[in-house]
Chains A and B, each alone.
Chain A
Amino acid sequence: MIELTGLLILPAIGIIALILKKVLHLAISEEKIVTSVTIATAMVFFLGLIIGFQGISITLVNAIDFSFTLQLNGISIPFLLLAVVLPGLGLWSAYKEIKENKALFYIFYLLSYLSLIAVFMSSNLISFFIFWEIILISFFFIIAFWGERETKRKASMKFLIFTQFGSMVLLGAFILLYVYTGSFSLNTIASSTALIPIQIQDVIFFFVIIAAIIKMPLFPLHSWLPDAHTSAPTAGSVLLAGVLLKLGAYVLILFAVLLFPGVVKTFQVPLIILGLFTVLYSTFAASAQKDFKRLIAYSSIFYMALVFIGIASLNSLGETGAIVLIVSHGFIVGMLFVLAGMLKEKTGTRDLDKLGGLMSRIPMYAFFLVLAIIATLGVPGLSNFPAELLVLLGAYAVYPLSLLALVGVLIATNYYLSAAKRILFDSLKKTFGKITDISALDALQLSLFTIFIVVLGVMPSILINSFNLTI
């Protein structure tokens, strides 16, 4: 058995090593520390998947039922897979991009890495919230200090205000749970939901939904995401789209669907309609984007809306599909953001109007770009296909109109393929005459993403068998 704390101790060692390096001026480079830490954590995680995990519980403050409790719940494993693997895959982009104050950047990076892993294992609501907020704070600083010079001030503040609003609302839900059940422990709360009056259940559900809508994000509260993405460094974008957005779905499943299924049932149709509206809105918005990164950001709103529809369908098909889509989209969108970062690195721009005809200059890049795009569009054999299929089947069973989401997939095909055409296939612009293809390490980074996408596409059953919908 592997202790769950092991997954947290390794990044913590990395943070301490970075601080020591900074203070004592050690000769070892920051990149080596971070790489070894992420690889070691991933190895411990995969080892644990084989031989099993063991939880831990340390009471810190008895009076408010605050303990440090790590325990896997039914849906932890898929989310942990994303949290453990994706930040490591995005690192190579950070090595190329971050030049100033590297040690501090990697401290924030590892801090959010650690907290992301911890959030998906915490079963005490206070420690859950603490890690949830550490992610937010460290991500705020990643955007505010290492983002794009022109936009970072505004984008970081917008990110903070929206997500902090979500956190406050979530905290409100937690406090209400505590006031009525007398405990912050998830297991105790799950066994005593009957103590909570019906109208309070509605309020808690409403709070959780708002927190999820902000974090995922869905239509009325989504506007922070494109700005944050365009401003963040590539590694930050991978983390943001790959794992941070999934926190919203995690909260939604854990605190709404699993705790109060009855309440969700009452509001099921409005929720699905909200998801459908977001699907349509985000696809049309994505079609209008000129910045490639912004386009990917809007398309990830689209996929998170599909996830939302899947969760709201409340049957096992839809829920399973939603979780598979979460994992699959995590890898695909991570790959797309890495590709967008490389595009900027090679050509100096992400503006689709200024690009064109790069196919002849960078064939290997073109291969991976087309692969990532067809993976996004749900081509069979790649990981999005089973996920989208399950979500649509599940949603159709409860609300037939949800097949409207297929329109979204259709439009997504249009804007993604036209983006590929504008980047790769028009006539070559003169300014790009001298650019060279991606390096072997770049290709390695993209292949690692590809391996996960293909494996999950061919054998989605591995993932589906790894979770069950219980607390």
Chain B
Amino acid sequence: MINAEYILFGGVLALILIDLLRLRLKINNKNIIHFLTLAILIAAFIAEIIFGNMNVSFFSSTQYSQFVNGFILFLAVVIYAFLMSDSKDYSTTIDFLFILATLGAMLVILSSNFISLVIAIEMISISSYGLVFFQKNNRRMEGATKYVSLSFISIVIMIFGVSLVYGGAGTLSFTQLTSVDYIPFIAGVGLVMVGLAFKSTIVPFHMWAPDVYEASNSVVTAFLSSISKAAGLVAMIRVFFFAFPVSSPFVSMMFIILAVSTIFFASFLATVQERIKRLLAYSSIAQAGFAFVAIALLNYIGIQAAIFYIFTFAIADALVFLAYKIFEDQKIIYKKDAAKMFSISKIATVGFFIGILSLAGLPPTIGFFGKLAIFVALLAHGYVYLVVALFAIILFSTFYYFGLLRDTDVTEVRDTQKLNIKISSLRVKEALIIILTLALFVGVIFVNF
């Protein structure tokens, strides 16, 4: 069967060959490579829907893999199409890195062994270092350096944890792991947790995220905050729900403490931000916390809710960062500049609005249904006080989300003459934003709890 993973892997090899050929023939037009990249991603998306995922040695699919990989590829197509319409004459390396990062994210979800998991995570990480450095300047240099150094530390910690787990259990396959009452084994589980938490920006392993998100190109930020983070969170589900026999009240409590501190910390920091992008970055961290609350239940209903929630915030995060890219190009950096948004692009502003509504968890967007699923799961297991605390923090975060929306005052008439917008590429971007906005409403058909 032609699985999406084979298409991506074969595609990237073919692309490298074609690129070499192009250089040899001295053709300077890189557009053919860009369009081929888009075609490969679309083909992979279609293959994913039709054939599902591959099942070979270290990789096996579970019941949610097709859904998760499907929306990852969908987002990859949209984000890459946005990147194409946004940037002119960028290096073909970006194409290879983008495909490899997407492939890495899909492999993380399919991994059924610690070795393949670590390799897949490395695959996303190394590709995203290059993506962060895309269209380089001093800030991106700083961001990429920070990302590389911290990411290396986290992966080393995770490999150390994996080796301890092997020392205890004698196997690295998720299906054969058994619980061992052996202190290094338990320490190993904790260290694996640290490595995965780094990727999914769980407090206190989130420090890199706001800086890196802010420094990189907003399209890359959309990739990092949706696809890369979704992969990290789903890997947590795979490891802690399917692989380790660790579900105990103690572990749940530890996870809930981490999740709630993520939500509180990120929401409080988001309120004091002046820059829109940094605010969105902190809100993205808070979203990961919500998904982690549901994972922390470590039971079936919680996992269902978590998967759906990861889907909702991935779509919404991609939408707000892509829409923000259009505004960022017109020098809208601070919240007080937000009033100009509506005169730049009405469609992008509406998409941005709806994305924010979804992140804030207001109906009729799927953000509401995602939060509803989590609350039903929590209440069904008696976590009443936790739900009360989460309600309080959602209310609190409504403050900064709607403060941002309020600042985009549409009634004040502004001078639009000075804006310098290329209409043709703006239309493509607006079309992509419309697609994501519709996904925020249609996605409700996938809810299942």
Residues of A participating in the B interface, judged by any CB pair closer than 8 Å: 60-61, 63-64, 66, 100-101, 104, 126, 129-130, 133-134, 137, 140-141, 144-146, 153, 156-157, 160-161, 164-165, 168-169, 171-172, 175-176, 178-179
Given contacts A130-B363, A137-B362, 20 further A-B contacts (CB under 8 A): A63-B448, A63-B449, A64-B369, A64-B372, A64-B448, A66-B444, A101-B411, A104-B410, A130-B364, A130-B368, A140-B402, A140-B406, A145-B410, A157-B399, A160-B398, A168-B391, A169-B391, A175-B375, A176-B379, A179-B376
Q: Which chain A positions have C-beta within 8 A of B362? A: 133, 137
Picked from B369, B376, B405, B412, the residue with its CB within 8 Å of the CB of A175 is B376
With A137-B357, A137-B362, A140-B402 as contacts: A146 and B379 at CB distance below 8 Å: no
B contact face: mostly helix, strand, loop, or mixed: helix
Q: Which chain A positions have C-beta within 8 A of B380? A: 179
Q: Does B409 make an interface contact (CB < 8 A)? A: yes
Q: Does B394 make an interface contact (CB < 8 A)? A: yes
A169 to B399 Cα, complex, angstroms: 17
Number of A-B contacts (CB under 8 A): 82
Q: Is the CB of B445 within 8 A of A164?
A: no
Q: Is the CB of B402 within 8 A of A157?
A: yes
A349 to B406 Cα, complex, angstroms: 26
Q: Is the CB of A60 within 8 A of B444?
A: yes
Q: Is the CB of B444 within 8 A of A172?
A: no
Picked from B364, B372, B387, B444, the residue with its CB within 8 Å of the CB of A134 is B364
Give residues of chain B (382-406) contacting chain A, Cβ–Cβ below 8 Å: 387-388, 391, 394-395, 398-399, 402-403, 405-406
Q: Which chain B positions have C-beta within 8 A of A101? A: 410-411
A164 to B399 Cα, complex, angstroms: 10
Closest partner residue, chain A, to B445 (CB atom): A61
Q: Is the CB of B363 within 8 A of A145?
A: no
Between A and B, 25 residue pairs with Cβ closer than 8 Å are A60-B444, A61-B447, A63-B447, A64-B369, A64-B376, A64-B447, A66-B369, A101-B410, A129-B363, A130-B364, A137-B362, A144-B406, A146-B411, A153-B406, A157-B399, A157-B402, A157-B403, A157-B406, A160-B398, A160-B402, A171-B391, A172-B387, A172-B388, A175-B372, A178-B376
Count how many chain B residues have C-beta atoms less than 8 Å from C-beta atoms of the other chain. Answer: 33
Q: Is the CB of B391 within 8 A of A172?
A: yes
Q: Is the CB of B411 within 8 A of A100?
A: yes
Give residues of chain B (343-388) contacting chain A, Cβ–Cβ below 8 Å: 357, 362-364, 368-369, 372-373, 375-376, 379-380, 387-388
Q: Which chain A positions have C-beta within 8 A of B410? A: 101, 104, 145
Q: Is the CB of A145 within 8 A of B409?
A: yes
Q: Is the CB of A161 within 8 A of B395?
A: yes
Q: Is the CB of B449 within 8 A of A64?
A: yes
Q: Which chain A positions have C-beta within 8 A of B399? A: 157, 161
Q: Is the CB of A168 within 8 A of B379?
A: no
Query: What distance in Å separates the Cβ of B336 from its nearest Cβ neighbour in chain A?
Result: 12
Closest partner residue, chain B, to A98 (CB atom): B411
Q: Which chain B positions have C-beta within 8 A of A179? A: 376, 379-380
Q: Does B25 make an interface contact (CB < 8 A)? A: no
Q: Which chain A positions have C-beta within 8 A of B395? A: 161, 164-165, 168
Q: Which chain B positions have C-beta within 8 A of A137? A: 357, 362
Query: What distance in Å separates the Cβ of B198 from its nearest Cβ neighbour in chain A?
Result: 32
A129 to B387 Cα, complex, angstroms: 18
A29 to B195 Cα, complex, angstroms: 60
A187 to B4 Cα, complex, angstroms: 46
A130 to B364 Cα, complex, angstroms: 6
Q: Which chain A positions have C-beta within 8 A of B1? A: none
**What sequence of 0s and 1s flags, for each residue 110-123 of chain B, a beta carbon within 8 Å of any chain A beta carbon?**
00000000000000
A101 to B380 Cα, complex, angstroms: 46
A238 to B266 Cα, complex, angstroms: 39
With A64-B373, A133-B363 as contacts: A156 and B406 at CB distance below 8 Å: yes
Q: Which chain B positions have C-beta within 8 A of A66? A: 369, 444, 447
Q: Is the CB of B387 within 8 A of A145?
A: no
Query: What distance in Å separates the Cβ of B378 from its nearest Cβ neighbour in chain A?
Result: 9
Q: Which chain A positions have C-beta within 8 A of B368? A: 130, 133
Q: Which chain A positions have C-beta within 8 A of B372? A: 64, 126, 171, 175
Query: What distance in Å separates the Cβ of A140 from its nearest Cβ neighbour in chain B?
Result: 7
A171 to B362 Cα, complex, angstroms: 11
Query: What distance in Å separates the Cβ of A172 from its nearest Cβ neighbour in chain B?
Result: 6
Q: Is the CB of A134 within 8 A of B449?
A: no
Query: What distance in Å separates the Cβ of B92 from its nearest Cβ neighbour in chain A?
Result: 38
A141 to B354 Cα, complex, angstroms: 13
Q: Does B254 make an interface contact (CB < 8 A)? A: no
A126 to B409 Cα, complex, angstroms: 31
Give residues of chain B (94-141) contacting chain A, Cβ–Cβ below 8 Å: none
A144 to B413 Cα, complex, angstroms: 15
**What sequence of 0s and 1s flags, for each residue 403-445 of chain B, a beta carbon within 8 Å of any chain A beta carbon?**
1011001111100000000000000000000000000000011
Query: What distance in Å separates the Cβ of A98 from its nearest Cβ neighbour in chain B?
Result: 9
Lowest 5 A-B CB distances belong to which pairs? A130-B363, A100-B411, A63-B448, A144-B406, A168-B391
Q: Is the CB of B394 within 8 A of A168?
A: yes
Q: Which chain B positions have C-beta within 8 A of A172? A: 375, 387-388, 391
A100 to B342 Cα, complex, angstroms: 13
Query: What distance in Å separates the Cβ of A65 from its nearest Cβ neighbour in chain B?
Result: 11
A169 to B392 Cα, complex, angstroms: 10
The residue in B395, B448, B449 that gathers the most chain A C-beta atoms within 10 A of its C-beta is: B395
A140 to B447 Cα, complex, angstroms: 28
Q: Which chain B positions have C-beta within 8 A of A168? A: 391, 394-395
